[in-house]
A and B are shown apart, each in its own frame.
Chain A
Amino acid sequence: MNYLLEILLIGIGAALINNFVLHYFVGICPFIGVSRQVVTAFGMGCAVTFVISIAAFLSWTVTTYILVPGAPLSSWIAEFFISAERASRIDLTILSYIVYIFAIASSVQFVEMYVRKFFPPLYQSFGVFLPLITTNCAILFACLLIMGHIVGVDNPEDVWDLGKSLTLAVFGGVGFTIAIVIMAGIREELDFCDIPGPFRGAAITLVVAGILAMAFMGFTGVDSGLKKVLTLSTVEKTINGDHLDHMKNN
């Protein structure tokens, strides 16, 4: 399959069809907590997208070069101590959770310090959300999804490269932003509604989120439809091209 087409499908899949919030239920805490106003919701969404891309880059690098069996860095170091044949079988994937959470926590700290020093206005706008993001499930979830496409894949051609991993992360963050901004827009209107007492606050938000999730279910199947259309059009082009060549030859 065409590489660009694959990237497109991964992006649409992460942003709309398998939306992080509404399909996988990750990042619910900020989704409920920070969705009172559209402006703050958008800031939170941008911050998450930013951190998720960095975390995905780190986790892809660490997984590919250190954690998987036969990874270059770990087997190179191990060759000093044990035979090369045994070194190529070293499997560090059991450490993956600890490594990921450590990478996320430290990169969030680092990004916060960097942004505070060099981009004060940016820090003013989303700096307060940055520490919160460390315990945002969406970030770790993206790392785990990427790990699932690198570790334990039998066919070497199916192993994800950096481009696909980053696409998943960025569009996952975009999907999160879409969901939380829509939610904030609805909640701004909800303030003027007469809601029964016990349902005020989180309860009605969850019910609205349920209805939103139903709406997002409408995207199911968009990817296979799109794939069919795009592959068909390329096939048609090649057939037409062949046909023209054929005619010219005649």
Chain B
Amino acid sequence: MADQPTSMERLIQGILPENPVYRQLLGLCPTLAVTSGMKAAITMSCAVAFVLLSANVIVSLIRNLLKPHLRIVIFTLTIATFVTIADRILAAYMYQMSKTLGPYVPLIIVNCIILCRCEVCASKQPLLTAVSDAVGQAAGFALALSSIAAVREILGTGMFFEIRVLPTSWPDWVIMVLPPGAFLTLGLLLGAVNWMGSLHSKNRQGKEGGEKT
């Protein structure tokens, strides 16, 4: 298969060209819910990365044993097992953080990103490709989460990683850390990413057109 991207290409594609949040609009629930602060966002993306990587490895290893009509159930059960592990680890070593994240850690089970990567990539590709794909997608997810969290935390509390970056005279935009702020930030950032993407492709087209003529 010549048109299949190599493992390195998959890694890079996951970060921006096929970013799970901004491009594929997957896994929006945690994206909106845990991005009121940077710490929660980073912890969440680490948990998702762990589950995504482990699930991709397992699914890729057993891909030849899978029956087509049972595969979704197998994927879901694999993911649920790793989510339970991640949840227990969080509760054991980062109790306060696991209280803050609350039900959103178990909700990783129904996170479409992981199911989508298992279905699209890991169940058809060898181990190395599946791993690099998982790393790329996890990095893209972390990038999206931290960009949203940075905007919300700085505008909402004037702090970044709980260290003050804006002057104390800054009026906190409380709405940014409340639910509506999540929707607004994601909507505006999504628009900005689309805009930059269209500029980029227009530039490229312009250059190619110029070279031809």
Residues of A within 8 A of B195 (CB): 197-198
Contact check, A206 vs B183: say whether CB atoms are below 8 A apart.
yes
Interface residues of B in 169-205 (CB under 8 A from A): 175, 178-184, 186-188, 190-192, 194-195, 198
Q: A98-B81, A203-B191 are in contact. Are A137 and B180 (CB under 8 A)?
A: no
Give the residue among A32, A137, A140, A211 with the most B Cβ atoms within 10 A: A137
Q: A28-B28, A97-B83, A101-B76 are in contact. Are A137 and B110 (CB under 8 A)?
A: yes
Contact check, B188 vs A207: say whether CB atoms are below 8 A apart.
yes
For residue B103, CB closer than 8 A to chain A, the reply is yes
For residue B115, CB closer than 8 A to chain A, the reply is yes
Option from B29, B73, B80 in Cβ contact (under 8 Å) with A25: B29
Please measure, in the bound complex, the distance between the C-alpha atom of A33 and the C-alpha atom of B179, giving whole angstroms: 20
Contact check, B103 vs A102: say whether CB atoms are below 8 A apart.
no
Contact check, B183 vs A213: say whether CB atoms are below 8 A apart.
yes
Contact check, B190 vs A26: say whether CB atoms are below 8 A apart.
no
Contact check, A32 vs B25: say whether CB atoms are below 8 A apart.
yes
Residues of A within 8 A of B76 (CB): 101, 105, 134
* Interface-side segment among A4-12, A141-149, A162-170, A222-230: A141-149
When C-beta atoms are compared, the residue in chain B nearest to A28 turns out to be: B28
Contact check, B103 vs A101: say whether CB atoms are below 8 A apart.
no
Contact check, B183 vs A135: say whether CB atoms are below 8 A apart.
no
Option from B109, B112, B198 in Cβ contact (under 8 Å) with A97: B109
Residues of B within 8 A of A23 (CB): 179
Please measure, in the bound complex, the distance between the C-alpha atom of A204 and the C-alpha atom of B192, giving whole angstroms: 11
Contact check, A26 vs B29: say whether CB atoms are below 8 A apart.
yes
Shortest Cβ distance from B21 into chain A, in angstroms?
A: 11
Residues of A within 8 A of B178 (CB): 217
Contact check, A213 vs B179: say whether CB atoms are below 8 A apart.
yes
Contact check, A97 vs B103: say whether CB atoms are below 8 A apart.
no
Number of A-B contacts (CB under 8 A): 120
Please measure, in the bound complex, the distance between the C-alpha atom of A63 and the C-alpha atom of B162, giving whole angstroms: 38
Option from B73, B84, B180, B192 in Cβ contact (under 8 Å) with A213: B180
Contact check, B106 vs A206: say whether CB atoms are below 8 A apart.
no
Interface residues of A in 77-104 (CB under 8 A from B): 94-95, 97-98, 101-102
Contact check, B175 vs A214: say whether CB atoms are below 8 A apart.
yes
Please measure, in the bound complex, the distance between the C-alpha atom of A134 and the C-alpha atom of B72, giving whole angstroms: 10
For residue B88, CB closer than 8 A to chain A, the reply is yes
Q: A25-B32, A141-B107, A199-B191 are in contact. Are A98 and B77 (CB under 8 A)?
A: yes
Residues of B within 8 A of A217 (CB): 178-180
Which residues of A approach B to under 8 Å, CB–CB? 22-29, 32, 94-95, 97-98, 101-102, 105, 134-137, 139-141, 144-145, 148, 196-199, 202-211, 213-214, 217
Apart from the given pairs A135-B115, A207-B184, 4 other A-B contacts in the complex at a CB distance below 8 Å: A29-B26, A102-B80, A140-B107, A203-B190
Q: List 9 A-B contacts (CB under 8 A).
A: A25-B179, A98-B80, A135-B115, A140-B106, A198-B191, A206-B184, A207-B184, A210-B184, A217-B180
Nearest 10 CB-CB pairings of A with B: A206-B187, A210-B183, A207-B187, A198-B194, A210-B184, A198-B195, A213-B180, A203-B191, A25-B32, A203-B190
